[in-house]
Structure 1
Amino acid sequence: MSPAATRTDRLPYSHSSRETKDADDHAACLSNWQQRYDQLSAGSFSGVFEEFCFGNVQLFREGLNQSVHQSGIAWPGSRTFAVPVAIEGTGWFGGEVYDAHSMLTLGGSDELDFRTPRRLEILACTADARALCDYAQQVDHRNIEAELAARSIAPASPEQVTALGKLLATMMASLRATPALLHHAQMRKAMEQALFATLLDTLASATTASASPASCRTRQLVVAQARAYMEAHIDEPITVADLCIELGVSRRTLQYSFQDVLNLNPVKFLRAIRLNAVRRALKSADANGRETVADIAARWGFWHLSHFAAEYKAMFDELPSETLKRRI
C-alpha cells in the first residue's frame, strides 16, 4: 500500500522530522517499513531523520554517525531509490559495494541488506511501483521493473546521481519551508511527475536512446495535436506526461517534435502557458480575499517558489507580488 493509504489524519500529506540517539529508535522513524538496525561501530549513536509522504510518494532523508546494518522490508508494492549525499568510504547494499556515486534501489518484495559506513547521509524516495511503472510505460514506453530486475545498484552516471540528489534536496527544502503547498492536488501531481521524470532520466536506457526519430510530418502533427489539446484545456495545468498520454507518444518524440517545429522544448512551452495562467489568476484575484501568490502558484504546479518568482520576473518584468498588488 502507498504511504497515503495508511494515514489516519485528514491531510493529503504528512511530515515528520526527528533527531535520534539510539539505533532502534532511528529504525522506527520510517513510516510503513519494517526495519531493524544493528549498530556495528563503537560510540554514542546520533541520527537525523526527515520524511514527507504524499500521494504515491515517500521522500526521506537519513543521517547516521555510526556504522549500522539495516535489515527488513519496505512497504508492499513499492520501489525505492536512494543516493548518498555525504559518505565516508564505502558501504554494502544487496551484495554490492556502493560509494558516493551509487544509486541504490530496492523493490517492495526485496529484503533490505544494507551496511552503512561510519558516516552516511542519504536522500531517498519510495514510490508506488505500479504508479511509477504506469508513468514509465505511458510517457517513455519502458518497463522499469524489468530493467531493474535483480538489481541493487541502479545503472546511472555520477552526473545523473548528483542530479537526482539535487532534485530530492530541493523538493524537501521547498516542502520544509511551505508544507501547506501539498494541500493542492495539482502541486502533489506536479511534484510526483517531476520526481518520476527525473528517475526515468537517471535510468536512461540504451533502447530509449536508440529509438528511431519520427518523420518531419509526424513531428508537425504531434505539435499541432498538443497545441489543440492545450487550447481545449486552457484552464487546466497540463503536464508533459498529460500530453504524452493523450497523444500516445513518448517524451523523447514530444521533445524532438517541439524542438524542431517551435525551437522550444515542451517543458518550456508548458511553463510559459502556466506562467500566463498564473498571471491571469493574479490579475483577477479578489481584492478583498486572502489568496496569496503561493496559493495561486501552487494551483498551477509551481512547487519551487523562488524559481517561480524568478521565472515570472524574467517573463513579465515584474514580480508576481507586484501583479497581485495591481489587481482591480
Structure 2
Amino acid sequence: MNPAALSAGETVDAHCSFTVATTDDAYDHARCLQHWKQRYEQLSAGRFSGGVEEAWFGNVQVFRERTNQIVHEAGQAWEGSTTFGIPVEAEGEGWYCGEVFNRDSILTLQGGEQLDFRTPRQLDILGVTADTAAFVDYARRVENRDIQAEIGKQRIVHGAPEKAAELRAFLLTMLNTVRTTPQMLEHAAMRKALEQAIYGSLLAAIGNETDIARPASTSQTRRQIVERAREYMRTHIDEPITVADLCAELNVSRRTLQYSFQDVLNLNPVSFLRAMRLNGVRRALRHADGEHDSVADVAARWGFWHLSHFAADYKAMFGELPSETLRNSHTRRLSAF
C-alpha cells in the first residue's frame, strides 16, 4: 500500500513519507493517521494537546502518538492490515477492548476490527500497522511461525517486559533516525531493511524463542546450506542482501540458517551479511564522488539506517571512519589529475 503524504508533512518520494503534526483538538487529532477511519472523543476536562509522527515505507506504517487527556478512540485501521501498539509512557489506567493494559502490553488490531480504546490521561504510544500478508509471509518464511495462529483472538499480548523494552527502544531509535534524515527512505534497500527489522523485532517481542527446539540436521546438510548461501552472496555481491533474502532463496528458516552458519563458520549469518554489506559500502566510498555522494547516502543504499552503529562497525572492520575513506578517495582522484 503506497502512502499519500499529508500536506503538513514532509514527503520523501512516491514510495514513502514522513509527517509530523501537532493538535489542540481530539477531533482533529483523530484525522492525523493516513488511511485510518477514526473518531476521538475527549472525556476528561482540560485543554487538549497532542502530537503525531508517522513514517510510511514498504508495507509498514510506523507512528508515535501523544495525548494529554482521557480520550475514547473508535474506528478502524486500513483493510488488510495488522496493527501493534506499544506504550512508551502512560499516566493512569487505560482500557483496550475491555481489558486493562500496562506499559509492557502489546495491543493488537486487525484491519476491519473495531478499535475500542479508552486512553489514560497522559499517553505516549508507538504503533506499527503492517500489511498482514507481507508480515505473515515473513514470519512463515524466515521464522517458520504461524503468527496469526499464535496471536489468535488476543487483543492484548502480554510478553516479557525485557522484550517489550527492546521493541520500544528499537522503534524510538528508528523514528528518531527517520525524523533526522528522512531522505534515507528514498533508497529501496533502506526501506526493505527497515521493514524486515520491524518484522523481526515484533516477532521477537511476541514469541518466546527459548521454547523452540533446535532443528535437527546433519553436518553435511548444514555445510550445504552455508555453501549455497555463500554462492548466492557471491552472485549478488553488489546487492544489500538480508537474512530474509537468504531464507527465501534457500527455503530454510532463520533459525536453521543461524545454526548452520554457527556450526560451519562459528559466525552467525547476521554478522556475515553485515561484513558483506560493509565491504559493499567501502567499495562504493572508494569510487564515490566526494562532492556529490555523502556517507549517509551510501550507507542508506546498503541498508544501514543507524549511522552511529554503522560508523563504529565500519571503523572496527577497516580501521578508519567511513568519512575518512570518502575523503581519501576524493584526494586520490584529485591527485590523479
Equivalent-residue separation in structure 1 for 2:139 and 2:101 (angstroms): 26
Report if the CA contact (8 A) 1:80-1:125 is conserved. yes
Residue identity over aligned pairs, in percent, reads 57
What is the match of residue 141 of structure 2?
138
- Partner AA of 2:138 in structure 1: Y
Q: Which of 191, 197, 200 lines up with 1:194 in the alignment? A: 197
Equivalent-residue separation in structure 1 for 2:266 and 2:104 (angstroms): 34
After superposition, the C-alpha distances for 1:239-294 in whole angstroms (9 at most, x for unaligned) are 0000000011101111111112111111111001100110111111135x501111
What is the RMSD computed on CA atoms of the aligned residues? 1.7
What is the match of residue 106 of structure 2?
103
Report if the CA contact (8 A) 1:11-1:183 is conserved. no
SS of alignment partner, residue 59 of structure 1: strand
- Say if 1:188 and 1:208 are closer, same or farther in 2 by CA, change over 3 A: farther
Measure how far apart 1:6 and its partner are: 4.8
Q: Which of 163, 168, 171 lines up with 2:171 in the alignment? A: 168
1:30 aligns with 2:33: yes
After superposition, the C-alpha distances for 1:205-239 in whole angstroms (9 at most, x for unaligned) are 57971353323222222111111111111111100
What is the match of residue 262 of structure 1?
265
What is the match of residue 81 of structure 1?
84
1:298 aligns with 2:294: no
1:218 aligns with 2:221: yes
- Partner AA of 1:300 in structure 2: W
1:92 aligns with 2:108: no
Count of matched residue pairs: 325
Measure how far apart 1:155 and its partner are: 4.3
What is the match of residue 58 of structure 1?
61
Report if the CA contact (8 A) 2:101-2:156 is conserved. yes
- Say if 1:245 and 1:161 are closer, same or farther in 2 by CA, change over 3 A: same
Report if the CA contact (8 A) 1:89-1:99 is conserved. no
Equivalent-residue separation in structure 2 for 1:131 and 1:320 (angstroms): 34
Equivalent-residue separation in structure 2 for 1:89 and 1:157 (angstroms): 21
Equivalent-residue separation in structure 1 for 2:54 and 2:209 (angstroms): 33
SS of alignment partner, residue 103 of structure 1: strand
Equivalent-residue separation in structure 2 for 1:208 and 1:56 (angstroms): 29
Measure how far apart 1:5 and its partner are: 5.4
After superposition, the C-alpha distances for 1:182-226 in whole angstroms (9 at most, x for unaligned) are 111111001001111111111225797135332322222211111
Compute the TM-score of the two structures, normalised by the length of structure 2: 0.92
Which structure 2 segments of 5+ residues have no match?
Answer: 333-337
What is the match of residue 308 of structure 1?
310
What is the match of residue 335 of structure 2?
none
Report if the CA contact (8 A) 2:55-2:63 is conserved. yes
Equivalent-residue separation in structure 2 for 1:189 and 1:202 (angstroms): 20
Measure how far apart 1:295 and its partner are: 1.2
Equivalent-residue separation in structure 1 for 2:211 and 2:133 (angstroms): 20
What is the match of residue 45 of structure 1?
48
Measure how far apart 1:135 and its partner are: 1.0
Which structure 1 segments of 5+ residues have no match?
Answer: none
Q: Which of 200, 204, 209 lines up with 2:207 in the alignment? A: 204
Measure how far apart 1:150 and its partner are: 1.1
- Say if 1:109 and 1:191 are closer, same or farther in 2 by CA, change over 3 A: same
